[in-house]
Amino acid sequence: MPRPTASAPGSTGTAGRPSIVPGPDSVIHGFDVTVRRGGTVLLDAVSWEVLADERWVVLGPNGAGKTTLLQVAAAQLHPTSGRVHVLGERLGAVDLAEVRPRIGVSSAALASRVPPQERVVDVVVSAGYGVLGRWRERYDQLDLDRATELLDAMGVARLADRMYGTLSEGERKRTLAARALMADPELLLLDEPAAGLDLGGREDLLARLTRLAQDPAAPTTVLVTHHVEEIPVDFTHVLLLRDGGVVAAGPVAETLTEEHLSATFGMSLALEQRGGRFFAYAR
C-alpha cells in the first residue's frame, strides 16, 4: 500500500504530494492548505496526509505554524484556502460539532480554559460528555472508572480528587492527555505534551506515549514538539515545518536527517540516534 505522502511545493521531502482526494485510510488530508491572518501567512500551501494507525510528529521552531496546523486538524480552524478532510469529513461541508467529538486534543489553549476548581477526575470524565467543566452532579460509575484508569496510565491516578488549579504544569499535561483519550477518539492530537516537564517527568511521559504508539488499538496520533528529544520511540512519521511551509515529511527513518533538521531550524545541527530516540545539537 502506498504510504504517507506529505510535502509542499519546493519541499525537500522524499515523499510526493498527497493525491488531491483522500483515500479510504486517510485520517487527515490537507491539500494546499493556507492560513492567513491579516497580512501574515501562518500556513503556506501545506499538503499533508496522515493515514490510519500512523503516529506523526510535527517538528519545527517557534512560530513555524505547528499549532495552527494542529488547530486545522482538530477541526477548530478553517483554512483561508485549500481543502481539508478530517476523519473522512470535508471541513466546511459538515457541521464541525459532529467531527470534534471523534478527536482527542491536548493543548495549551485547552489547559488555560479548565476551571481551576475542577476536580482532576472530572476534567477527564467530562470529555466523555463533550464538555469542559463539571456540568452534572453525577457521572456514571463506568465513566469514572475509565477516567481513573486513564489517569493511572498517565501516572497521576493519585491526583484524581485534587483541584486542577493546584496541579503542577507536568501534572496538568498528564491530566489533559488522559482527558484527550477519554472519549475513545479516532484521532489524538497532542500539542507539546512534554513542554515544561522536568527530565524525569519527560522520560516517564515519553515511555507512556511509546506504549500508546505500540498499542494497535490506540488512535492515530499527531504530536507537536520543538525538540527531537521529545519524539517517543515507535512514532512512525515526521513533518518538519518552517515559516508555515513543509521542509520535509514522511517516515521518520528517511525524513529525520541532519540536512532536513538543519534546514528546519536554520542552523547546522548534528543529529544522533540511540535506542530509537533522537538527540540534536549545534555543530
Ligand X SMILES: Nc1ncnc2c1ncn2[C@@H]1O[C@H](COP(=O)(O)OP(=O)(O)OP(=O)(O)O)[C@@H](O)[C@H]1O
Q: Which residues, 158 to 197, sit near ligand X by CB under 6 A?
A: none
Rounded distance between C-alpha atoms, residue 174 and residue 252, angstroms = 25
Q: Write the Ramachandran bin of 65: left for phi over 0, alpha for psi from -120 to 50, otherwise beta.
A: left
For the window 199-228, what string marks contact with ligand X as x by the rule CB under 6 A?
Answer: ---------------------------x--
Minimum distance between the CB of residue 13 and ligand X, rounded to whole angstroms? Answer: 18
Q: Which stretch binds ligand X (CB under 6 A): 65-73, 88-96, 135-143, 210-218?
A: 65-73
Rounded distance between C-alpha atoms, residue 217 and residue 78, angstroms = 29
Minimum distance between the CB of residue 147 and ligand X, rounded to whole angstroms? Answer: 28
Q: Residue from 4, 22, 30, 65 that binds ligand X (CB under 6 A)?
A: 65
* Separation in Å, CA 67 to CA 72, 77, 106: 9, 11, 11
3-state helix, strand, coil in the chain (%, to 5): 35, 30, 40
Minimum distance between the CB of residue 67 and ligand X, rounded to whole angstroms? Answer: 3
For the window 224-253, what string marks contact with ligand X as x by the rule CB under 6 A?
Answer: --x---------------------------
* Separation in Å, CA 15 to CA 32, 108, 188, 254: 15, 31, 24, 10
Q: Residue from 26, 67, 107, 221 that binds ligand X (CB under 6 A)?
A: 67
64 binds ligand X (CB under 6 A): yes
30 binds ligand X (CB under 6 A): no
DSSP structure class, residue 75: T
- With CA atoms as reference, report the closest residue to 89 among 22, 43, 32: 22
113 binds ligand X (CB under 6 A): no
Chain residues in the site for ligand X (CB under 6 A): 37-38, 40, 42, 60, 62-68, 226
